[in-house]
Copies of this chain bind each other. A is one copy, B any other.
Amino acid sequence: GGFGAPPVNDPMWGYFTAIAGQDGEIDSEELQRCLTQTGIHGTYSPFSLETCRLMISMLDRDLTGKMGFNEFKEVFVALSGWKQNFMMFDQDRSGSVEPHEMSQSLSSMGYRISPQALSGIIKRFSKNGRIYFDDYVACCVKLRAHTDTFRRRDNMQQGFVNFSYDEFLLCTMTI
């Protein structure tokens, strides 16, 4: 098919349209339902609505709060990577990892973060000193989104970015 034709040969297309419904896009409630049905969380708890919201905001450049077909596929790719990474550190399959395992996991994904920032981040996503899968994914989503924002703005690669108040709110409040 030419440019703009629906990807009818893509095995996920029918699945996408069934979930998206009339408006042809997926919002956070639809995403939560879909992720719960597919069982991508495996033996872990299903994703919270908050984490599903974050997954959508991560890719939602036009700020509609919804996801098209390509973003939908991107979310699945990201999720399966994060799940693999999490399972590598949750060896006893308890559904949670310890702070030092979380550090190792983020390093293994290529993030270079100071001990102070790491410690603040890990505390933010912990419950009783442990990090559960849903919160782990929420953390990975935010980290990826904010790292993308930083790189996009730091186009001279000087290691610094500049924000007006309004730009700062747009970046921090919508994710």
In the complex, whether A109 has a CB less than 8 A from a CB of chain B is no
Secondary structure of the A contact surface, majority rule: helix
Given contacts A50-B50, A65-B126, A126-B65, contact A121 B164 (CB under 8 A): no
Give chain A interface residues in 109-142, CB to chain B under 8 Å.
Answer: 113-114, 116-117, 119-121, 123-124, 126, 139, 142
A113 to B172, alpha carbons, bound, how many Å? Answer: 13
Whether A121 pairs with B165 at a CB distance below 8 angstroms is no
Question: Once the chains bind, are A123 and B159 in contact (CB under 8 Å)?
Answer: no
Pick the contact of A173 from B142, B160, B164, B174 — CB < 8 Å? B142
Taking a contact as CB atoms under 8 Å apart, the answer to whether A65 and B124 are in contact is yes
Interface flags for A147-174 (1: CB within 8 Å of B; 0: not) read: 1001000100001111111101111111
Which A positions have Cβ atoms within 8 angstroms of B? Answer: 50, 53, 57, 63-65, 113-114, 116-117, 119-121, 123-124, 126, 139, 142-143, 146-147, 150, 154, 159-166, 168-175
Taking A65-B126, A139-B173, A163-B163 as given, write out 7 further A-B residue pairs in contact, using a Cβ cutoff of 8 Å, ordered by the A residue number: A117-B170, A146-B168, A147-B169, A159-B164, A159-B165, A160-B162, A161-B168
